[in-house]
Amino acid sequence: MHLGRGSVVFITGGGSGIGLALARRFLARDCSVTICGRDTEKLEAAERDSDGLSAVRCDVTQNLDVLRMRDLLTSQYGRVDVLVNNAGIQRTFEFAEDPDALEKLEEEVRTNFLSQVRLIRAFLPLLIASDAPVIVNVTSVLAMLPKRSAPGYCASKAALHSFTRTLAWQLEGTGIAVLELLPPLVDTPMTRGKPYRVRPMRADLFAEAALRGIEKGRREIRPGKAWLFCLGARLFPGLLERFLRQS
């Protein structure tokens, strides 16, 4: 698809990290970009530092917030050309030892999977109103092989990975393209300062590679080393598992 002046883009979890990096790349292509998130301070800072960006507080786990967001975009634009489901959280815990393990896992599944599904459902009328609508679900390379320390995050991203594929099949013929964006380790506030064994990808380089994939309509977009991880997960799963069991 062609991204440029007149393209309407909505990004969840856009106040920082990957979401904000994507928003800025869309803005550089003269798109009309709206982001949402739960942290008002981050949203205000993003709006202040990114010329032309519109930021709205919205908790995607709350149905009323999602419906208000849909109505706002309906009144402003009447359509959405690109919906980027990026909102997500990651908790690290030992399932058998952490007394709050179930609550943390439920929060991750609700935020990383169920809220994305609910938002897509609510936004279908806005997407159908577009001439070339695109849904981009941001999952993770950890949807392919999980790491030991984040059972809820990996499981919820795997669920979104599977749902994205089946949704793409079900929406064939509607004109709505359903794409999956699988980030590698990216340098964001969520990852910064942690002892990773590999160097994170710069967020701006990740975002530029992601937009090229969106423009080309790739069903699975694997920027940076994500393609190598996904290949290894298929060809050498045992080797990667030994590494991820220590992560």
Q: What is the dihedral of CA 23, 177, 168, 59, to 10 degrees?
A: 30
Q: What is the DSSP annotation of 49-70?
A: HSTT-EEEE--TTSHHHHHHHH
Residues 6+ apart with CB under 8 A from 238: none
Q: Exposed, middle or buried, 195 (CB in 10 Å: 0-12/13-18/19+)?
A: exposed
From 26, 113, 123, 153, active-site residue: 153
**In residues, how long is the chain?**
247
| Catalytic (active site) residue 153 | yes
Q: Is 223 left (phi over 0), alpha (psi -120 to 50) or beta?
A: beta
Q: Are the C-beta atoms of residues 79 and 126 closer than 8 Å to each other?
A: yes
Distance from the Cα of residue 138 to its chain's centroid? 3
Q: Are the C-beta atoms of residues 4 and 82 closer than 8 Å to each other?
A: no
Q: What residues act catalytically?
A: 153
